[in-house]
Structure 1
Amino acid sequence: MSENGSEDGSLHIVDVATGKEVDKVIPNVQYPTGGGSLAWREDGSGFWYTRYPAASEPAERQHFYQQIYYHRVGDDPAKDVYVLGKDFPRVAEIALDARPGAPGVIASVANGDGGEFAHYLIAGDGGIRQVTRFEDKVVAAALGPDGLYLISRQGAPRGKLLKLALDDLTLAKAQTIVPESDAALEPGGEFGAGNITLTKDAIYLREIVGGPSRVAIYGLDGKPRGQLQLPEVATVDEMTVMDDGSLLVAVKTYLEPPQFLRVDADSGRTKATALRQTSPVSFGDVEVVREFATSKDGTRVPLNIVRRKGLKLDGSAPLLLNGYGGYNVSLVPRFLGAATRLWLDAGGVYVIANLRGGGEFGETWHTQGALTNKQNVFDDFAASAQYLVDKGYTSKERMAAIGGSNGGLLMGAVFTQHPELFRAVVSTVGIYDMLRVELDPNGAFNVTEFGTVKNLEQFQALYAYSPYHHVQDGAKYPAIFMATGETDGRVNPMHSRKMVARLQAATGSGRPVLLSINAHAGHGMGSSLSIRVNQMADIYAFLFDQLGITSPLQ
Structure 2
Amino acid sequence: MTAPTYPETRRDEAQVETLFGKQIADPYRWLEDDVRNNPEVADWVERQNAVTDAYLAQLPGRDWFRTRVGQIFDFARYSTPYERGGRYFYTFNTGLQNQSPLYVRDGLNGEQRLLLDPNAWAQDGATALDGWLPSYDGSKLLYSVQDGGTDWKILRVLDVNTGQPLPDEVRWAKFTGLAWVGEEGFLYSRFPEPEEGADFQALNYNQAIYFHRLGTPQSEDELVYATPADPVVGHSASVTSDGRWAVITSHKGTDARYEVRVIDLAARATQGWATRELVTGFDNAWGVIDAIGGKLWFQTNADAPLYRIAAIDLDAAEPQWTEGIAQGEQPIDGASIVGDKLVVSYLRDASSVARIFSLDGAPAGEVELGGIGSVGGFSGSPGDPETFYSFTSFNRPPTIYRLDMATGEGSTFAEAQLAFDPDCFVVEQRFYTSKDGTRVPMFLMRRRDIAESGQAVPTLLYGYGGFDVSLTPGFSASRIAWVEAGGAYALANIRGGGEYGKAWHDGGRLGNKQNVFDDFIAAGEFLIAEGVTPAGGLAIQGGSNGGLLVGAVANQRPDLFAAGNAAVGVMDMLRFDRWTAGRYWVDDYGYPDREADFRVLRAYSPLHNIRSGVDYPALLVTTADTDDRVVPGHSFKYTAALQAAGLGERPQLIRIETRAGHGSGKPTDKAIAEAADVMGFLAFWTGLRTPELSLSCQAIILNRT
Structure-1-length-normalised TM-score: 0.92
Contact 1:102 1:145 in 2 (8 A): no
User: 1:510 maps to which residue?
Assistant: 649
- The aligned counterpart of 1:152 is 300
Q: Structure 1 residues 228, 500: CA separation in 2 closer, same or farther (over 3 Å shift)?
A: same
1:182 aligns with 2:329: yes
Alpha-carbon spacing, 1:471–1:539, altered in 2? closer, same or farther (3 Å): same
Residue 330, structure 1, aligned to residue 470, structure 2: yes
**Residue in structure 2 matched with residue 247 of structure 1 by the alignment:** 387
Identity percentage of aligned residues: 32
Tell me by how many angstroms 1:403 deviates: 0.5
1:12 is aligned to 156
- Indicate the residue corresponding to 2:172 in structure 1: 28
Alignment of 1:76-115 (within 5 A): 76-87=217-228, 89-115=230-256
Please state if 1:397 is matched with 2:536: yes
SS at match of 1:272: strand
Q: 1:424 to 1:62 in 2, by over 3 A?
A: closer
Please give the secondary structure, in 2, of the residue aligned with 1:442. Answer: helix
Rounded Cα–Cα distance in structure 1 between residues aligned with 2:296 and 2:209: 21
Structure 2 counterparts to residues 421-432 of structure 1, below 5 A? 421-432=560-571
TM-fit CA distance, 1:357: 0.7
Could you tell me whether the CA contact under 8 Å between 1:138 and 1:150 is conserved in 2? no
Distance change >3 Å, CA 206–CA 356, structure 1 → 2: same
- AA aligned to 1:121 is V
Partner of 1:495: 634
Instruction: Report the secondary structure of 1:63's partner residue.
Output: coil
Structure 1 distance, partners of 2:229, 2:514, is 31
After superposition, give the CA deviation of every residue in 1:213-262 in whole Å (9 maximum; x if it has no partner): 11221111111212111111221221122775211112222222212211
Alignment check: 8 A CA contact 1:52 1:62 kept: no
- Give the AA of the match of 2:222: V
Mean Cα deviation higher: 312-321 or 399-408? 312-321
1:192-231 equivalences in 2 (<5 Å): 195-231=334-370
Distance 1:206 1:283 in 2: 25
Give the total of aligned pairs: 538
CA–CA distance in structure 1, aligned partners of residues 303 and 179 of structure 2:
32
Residue identity matched to 2:458:
P
Give the superposition deviation at 1:50. 1.2
Alpha-carbon distance in structure 2 between the residues aligned to 1:551 and 1:420: 25
* The 10-residue stretch of structure 1 (374-383 or 434-443) with the greater mean CA deviation from structure 2: 434-443
Looking at structure 2, the residues matched to 295 and 393 of structure 1 have their Cα atoms a distance apart, in angstroms, of 18
Instruction: Indicate how the Cα distance of structure 1 residues 303 and 19 shifts in structure 2: closer, same or farther if over 3 A, else same.
Output: same
Q: Distance in 2 between matches of 1:208 and 1:98?
A: 27
Change (3 A) 1:135 1:64: closer
Q: Which amino acid counterpart does residue 167 of structure 1 have in structure 2? A: D
Question: Which one is further off, 462-471 or 541-550?
Answer: 541-550
TM-score by length of 2: 0.73
Conserved 8 A contact 1:318-1:398:
yes
Please tell me the residue identity of whatever aligns with 1:270: G
Unaligned 5+ segments in structure 2 are 1-144, 694-705
1:374 partner letter: K
Supply the AA of the counterpart residue of 1:520. Answer: R
Rounded Cα–Cα distance in structure 2 between residues aligned with 1:334 and 1:359: 16
CA contact (8 A) 2:241 2:291 kept: no
Aligned counterpart in structure 2 of residue 258 of structure 1, from 393, 398, 417: 398
Aligned to 1:386: 525
From 295, 306, 311, the counterpart of 2:450: 311
Are the aligned partners of 1:53 and 1:62 in contact in 2 as well (CA < 8 Å)?
no
SS of match in other structure, 1:28: strand
RCO (CA 8 Å, sep 6+): is it higher in 1 or 2? 2
Distance 2:535 2:262 in 1: 54
CA deviations over 1:425-446 (Å, ceiling 9, x no partner) = 1111001111111122332111
- Given residue 597 of structure 2, which amino acid in structure 1 is its aligned partner? Q
Could you say which residue in structure 2 is the equivalent of 1:191?
none
Q: CA deviation at 1:169?
A: 9.6
How many angstroms apart in 2 are the aligned matches of 1:182 and 1:450?
28
Give 1:504 deviation, angstroms.
1.3
Name the CA distance, whole Å, in 1 between partners of 2:325 and 2:317: 18
Partner residue, 1:142:
289
Moved beyond 4 Å, runs of 4+: 55-62, 168-171, 312-315
Q: Is the 8 A contact 1:202 1:217 kept in 2?
A: yes
Q: Retained in 2: the 8 A contact 1:106–1:143?
A: no
> What stretches of structure 1 of length at least 5 have no aligned partner?
187-194
Could you tell me which residue of structure 1 aligns to residue 180 of structure 2? Answer: 40
CA contact (8 A) 1:120 1:131 kept: yes
Name the CA shift for 1:71/1:470 in 2 (closer, same or farther; >3 Å).
Answer: same
1:470 aligns with 2:617: no
Answer whether contact 2:151 2:629 (CA < 8 A) is retained.
no
Q: Which moved more, 1:485-494 or 1:261-270?
A: 261-270
1:170 to partner: Cα distance: 7.4
- CA spacing shift, 1:306–1:448, aligned 2, 3 Å: same
Counterpart-to-counterpart distance in 2, 1:18 and 1:62: 40
Q: Which moved more, 1:235-244 or 1:59-68?
A: 59-68
User: Is this contact kept in 1: 2:559–2:616, CA < 8 A?
Assistant: yes
- Shift of residue 420 of structure 1? 0.4
| 1:2, distance to aligned residue in structure 2 (A) | 3.0
Q: Which amino acid aligns with 1:515?
A: I
What is the rounded CA distance, in whole Å, between the counterparts of 2:649 and 2:241 in structure 1? 61
